[in-house]
Structure 1
Amino acid sequence: MSKKIVDAHIHLDMYKPDERFGILRDMEANDVDALIAVSNHLASAQETIRLAHADNRVKPAFGFHPEQPLPTDEEVGDLLAMIERDSDRVVAVGEVGLPYYLRREGEMTSREREAYVHVLEAFIRNAAELNKPVALHAIYDDAPEVIDLLEKHSLSKAHFHWFKGDSKTMQRMMRNGYFISVTPDILYEAETRELVRQFPLDKIMVETDGPWPFEGPFKGKMTHPHMIHRSAREIAVLKGIPDEDVYHRLYDNTIHFYGI
């Protein structure tokens, strides 16, 4: 049985050109079928669509990553227009969400946070109108508020990438049929391992979030989609399911969720 994988969340545009070239060159050799390439902002989305036009294994998503200063109304408008204009090629709205780490690291007024919520809601509304999945940065105490917005706009195609949160939120996500994805930190992070034990396999995907670096066996190494093979095998161990069955499920989950 094939052990093909899809990287469900990677910032391909953030790699150096030679690193990106190597990743794309070696995809077939590493049994990597596709990359869900999310964007951080307008310039990122423009580069990501360029990469997608050059290589159809790159599946682009447009959004505004919340862990940065607020975008202008013009930038949000341009991103939303790009999503609509390229809707036949764009597989998702993302990465979008709320600024958990930015909020924790410094002062953020309630008015400023509300502005982030307003931006997020604009993207969620857009995804719902276009029937596109949404790739989310929504962790810990931000996650319930994001779920509120998803429910408000009846958007069920939600992917909480690298999710972290409490059991109550996790149960709510499962009831709503949302997906999660886990990174290679499953090999050494207790929180990620417990998440995988509890979440149903038919709602799990695997990702790198590259070029974000990892520790443990990956310390000092460039984050590469081939690391997902280690993640898949570890999920099999944690679930007590044969490797082949886990590979098949993870692959199908991602292909069907993103419609690729």
Structure 2
Amino acid sequence: MQFIDSHCHINFPELAAQADQLQQQMAQNQVTHALCVSVNLPELPSVLAMAERYGNVYASVGVHPDYEDTAEPSVEQLVELARHPRCVAIGETGLDYYRLEGDLEWQRERFRTHIRAARQSKLPLIIHTRSAADDTLRIMREEQAADVGGVMHCFTESWAVAEAAIEQNFYISFSGIVTFKNAVELKDVARRVPLERMLIETDAPYLAPVPFRGKMNHPALVRHVAEHIADLRGVSVESIAQATTDNFYRLFQRAQH
């Protein structure tokens, strides 16, 4: 049995400082690989360095929608950066109307830029959406994101949004939030998502699953997400581990090389 953390930020200083220890904890919990996800270009070197240092860590290239005061990436820049041999995806990208107010057209344009870069690179997308599901799905359709597919990471939306994303060739990734007692609607989504469209993640250092809620998250804890989903669905944790591992390699095809 093995687990893969499909989305974490182990390049962030609080986790990078204990990188070797994290590797040991992953091994003890049968977490074989992790995808370290980019949130802006100034910190991208630390993401790539983590993937270069550890053979079981992959990288992505992208600028998170929450980063307002940062240089806008161009399609050409993202495509060029994504040539790095350890890069398996474009993102994280998307829309977040929760934290920021005012005219957010710049967010939508940045999102379009990432989708265009993904299509040019033939790499899947890692999409973040918060309080912006309708616009996210609309832009995905308009920019033909289905051509490359990807993952709706740290999913917290309704079953209707999950279905619409799956129809566009996207996977649904569950984080530690699914283990929270009040996440009733999300637990229902976790029961309903087809196994062949499911991924698991930590989003470390955030969102540690129960019983570690409130503590610093790390990739080894992704097995608790799998165990909770197995309980929700009334299936073995082995079946969740197998499906999400297979799905990871099906989606992130460059990770196999």
TM-score by length of 1: 0.87
Aligned to 1:7: 5
Aligned to 1:184: 176
Matched, 1:230 2:224: yes
Q: In 2 relative to 1, CA 229–119 (structure 1 residues): closer, same or farther, beyond 3 Å?
A: same
Q: In 2 relative to 1, CA 215–12 (structure 1 residues): closer, same or farther, beyond 3 Å?
A: closer
Q: Secondary structure at the match of 2:55?
A: coil
Kindly report which structure 2 residues correspond to 1:53-64, keeping only aligned pairs within 5 A, or say none.
Answer: 53-64=52-63
In angstroms, what is the RMSD of aligned CA positions? 2.0
Matched, 1:122 2:119: no
Q: Secondary structure at the match of 1:231?
A: helix
Aligned to 1:218: 212
Matched, 1:150 2:140: yes
CA distance, structure 2, for counterparts of residue 15 and residue 191 of structure 1: 33
Q: Secondary structure at the match of 2:145?
A: coil
CA distance, structure 2, for counterparts of residue 226 and residue 169 of structure 1: 29
CA distance, structure 2, for counterparts of residue 85 and residue 185 of structure 1: 33
Aligned to 2:130: 139
Q: In 2 relative to 1, CA 194–84 (structure 1 residues): closer, same or farther, beyond 3 Å?
A: same
User: Displacement, 1:11?
Assistant: 0.8
Matched, 1:96 2:93: yes
Aligned to 2:239: 245
Q: 2:201 aligns with which of 197, 207, 215?
A: 207
Q: In 2 relative to 1, CA 252–51 (structure 1 residues): closer, same or farther, beyond 3 Å?
A: same
Q: Secondary structure at the match of 2:28?
A: coil
CA distance, structure 1, for counterparts of residue 124 and residue 214 of structure 2: 33
Q: Which runs of 5+ in 1 are unaligned?
A: none
CA distance, structure 1, for counterparts of residue 75 and residue 169 of structure 2: 30
Aligned to 2:160: 168
User: Displacement, 1:227?
Assistant: 1.5
Q: In 2 relative to 1, CA 46–137 (structure 1 residues): closer, same or farther, beyond 3 Å?
A: same
Aligned letter for 1:214? A
TM-score by length of 2: 0.88
- Identity in percent: 24
User: Displacement, 1:160?
Assistant: 0.5
Aligned letter for 2:164? R
User: Displacement, 1:256?
Assistant: 1.5
CA distance, structure 2, for counterparts of residue 93 and residue 99 of structure 1: 17
8 Å CA contact 2:3–2:32 kept in 1: the answer is yes
Of stretches 239-248 and 213-222 in structure 1, the one that deviates more from structure 2 is 213-222
Q: Which runs of 5+ in 2 are unaligned?
A: none
8 Å CA contact 1:42–1:78 kept in 2: the answer is no
Q: Secondary structure at the match of 1:72?
A: coil
Q: In 2 relative to 1, CA 178–215 (structure 1 residues): closer, same or farther, beyond 3 Å?
A: closer
